[in-house]
Structure 1
Amino acid sequence: MTRLLIKQGTFVTIDENLPEFQGWLAVENGKIAAMGEGEAPQEETARATETVDGKGLLFMPGLVNTHGHAAMTLLRGMADDLVLQDWLQNHMWPTEAKFTGDDVYWGSALAAVEMIKSGTTTFVDMYDHSRRVAEMTEASGLRASLARGVIGLCSEEEQKAKLEDAIRFAREWHGQADDRIRVMISPHAPYTCPPDFILKFVEAARELNVPLHTHMSETLAEVEQNVRDYGCRPVEHLDRLGVFGGPALVAHAVHLNDEEIALLAERKVAVSHNPISNLKLASGVARVPDLLKAGVTVSLGTDGAASNNNLDLFQEMTTAALLHKGVSGDPTAVPATEALRMATLYGARSIGLEGVVGQLKVGFKADLIAVNIAQAHFVPRTDYVSHLVYSARGSDVVHVWVDGKQLLRDGRPTTLDEEKIMAEAESRYRRLRA
């Protein structure tokens, strides 16, 4: 039986009972087995089969990226500085139509390397060829909530085939890879899926007992189109269709009014806030302080690397904390502590993993990362939470564990061949653009 002991480290736990301490932490059977302040007890030292010296390192929960399209790393930098509909319809969708399952595998593997190296241990993915994403996830050691994303702008026959594929994927992969892989049901968006089609996804999600995930109210044009087509705004539209009758996560939710925020809170709908993608596509600024005040669970997502253009959730934290101060004129709008929770605890909560990951607590999964704080931008050591949100970046991460298995050691991935993955990704991009 292996037992890892981390000693003489600094720990930020996201647990109000013991938010920050200098001490030790033990991992066994993929879970946090024990932890405490000061020197590790002699019996812990004796039981350890592996020891990590935590001097100069800060240990914290792994980050949770609650919205993305991993394989879109292959499209990074391909079509920048465009409005959303032009970007999607004239650049993204035509190129994505050429994707093979192998393209999706290697694009997702490139995303996995990037996420591991920047401290993300759990990610949400909505994409086609979802089995290849699942295979990559299993091999990488990451934790994920995966969905076969479905666009319904096609014939009824194609719609039926896509829905059946999404259901098969959920049945095949939910709970696989030692329960590191969970599955969601994902109609792409209200403007790409007709109401009758969305109803079938709602029925499938309830039958399978899995959450629903969709894009919603990302742009003002999308909201206006929904009103023209269906006589109401997207929140009411999806609520009428039953999307919010069970666990649901919506991405973006940029354009909301007070009534919609109240309804999302009442229905316990979680929101994935993607500030950098929304800024880059000029989609707008979500009302995150108002959502948080209303009691809505707001987490952080990067979206795909084609609209970000990286998967560094530390950068997303910094942006979320600063953006809402700037647009509101209120420096307390999203404090550092809240931004850090959005990237950890609230991320776990939004995908049904609260009590499993997102905090450092005994009994939780050992999904944790180590940040190198023996660097100039972490000095003086005044407030570690402040430093993590306003000073840190993904490249400061040196070690990563998921389920107690080390995925990053001294900045190098242990489960993935980074050099091979980068070469494959470059080759596949060249083919797609040929």
Structure 2
Amino acid sequence: MIEQSLTLPCGHTVANRLCKAAMTEGLADVRDQPTPAHQRLYTTWARGGAAILLTGNIMIDRRYLERSGNVVVEDDSGLSQLRAWAQTVHQAGSELWAQISHPGRQCPRLVNLTPLAPSEVQLDMVGNFGRPRVATEADIVDIVQRFATTAAWLQQAGFDGVQVHAAHGYLLSQFLSGRTNQRQDQWGGSLANRARLLLDVVRAVRERVGLHYPISVKLNSSDFVKGGFTLDESVQVVQWLNDAGIDLLEVSGGTYEQLEFFRPQNASEVRDSTREREAMFLEYAKSIKAVARMPIMVTGGFRTLPGMEAALAAGHTDMIGLARPFCLEPDFPARMLADQMDRLPVSEDQLVLGRGYWGPNSPSNTWRSLNNLCQAGWYYRQIELMAAGESPQTTLSPWWAMLAHLGKDMGRAILRKVVAGA
């Protein structure tokens, strides 16, 4: 099943059912443009055999980043670098799709002290995020046009598709959630109002790129936080997206407050699980798949070839999205496609700093944040190594990785402000 091609509604055909889901890279230069490091990293992944490689966040507005080191596409200033990035992926055998995004309140203080958000609801995570200012009507109109403009430049650069990021607590996800969207105007209140921005963005992107260019949306199945976006709401939004002309819906879940995709999965629990329940969002995806008229991709938790094949055969998903395994064994898709590998590496257990009351399920936000930072920093380091042409280092200390990640992000942010005046 994973070796079968898939034809999307726009007429575009992808070679197999495996996709490298988005992971932030932090490899841009001080002017927020792609570098040769992107080419080295994505060439390594492209040679691995997955049909689609999704980039990490490509930002639509350089004032608001997910982190320093994001690529920003506002105009044609980095067009030659973008073209080189896409060409190297094509030459190595895969497609390159761009995930386009706005962080909203999830823009760190190192980038902007006053992020932009639907409402003045601050993200409380170890003081890393400032109190946001409320987006005005003019801001919202500008955001819609920026998504469309960024998509058009990426199409011109040779990227094979774009994904609108409306999950994981980023700006479009914030508008969808009643927890972070407390507006009383046409952009808040009812679900129809909260979904208006996402639908407007998708329509604007489609108008700019034409009918035959692939557009994906990444959507939470649930935020998994009290008062947040729910499965029932997700199902309704998918029904609206059915008429918006998208070609692939990626189903994920969680926000910075509840990082479901960083929850540790004990290896024995994965082995003992039923095949259908191996992926953490698959049960939610079944409800979405029941109403979706576009193909869907489930990302998060797949760790065995039989689990992937079972999910595809049962019709619960059309594509398999994988992320962290690409940081451990980047050639695993080719090995799976050749029946040389049926189980992916799992490193989550070694990255958990503690268990019990002070562990990953602790009520302490600080401890959960530290666990998340350690895991994120560990995987960032693997990405940096591959981008430098080196092999992953699976024995790396998560504490060291976290401290190195924080230090590098601070250094990048300072250099960006000094050199580029950002």
TM-score (norm 1): 0.43
Larger Cα-atom Rg:
1
TM-score (norm 2): 0.44
- Larger RCO, structure (CA 8 Å, separation 6 or more): 1
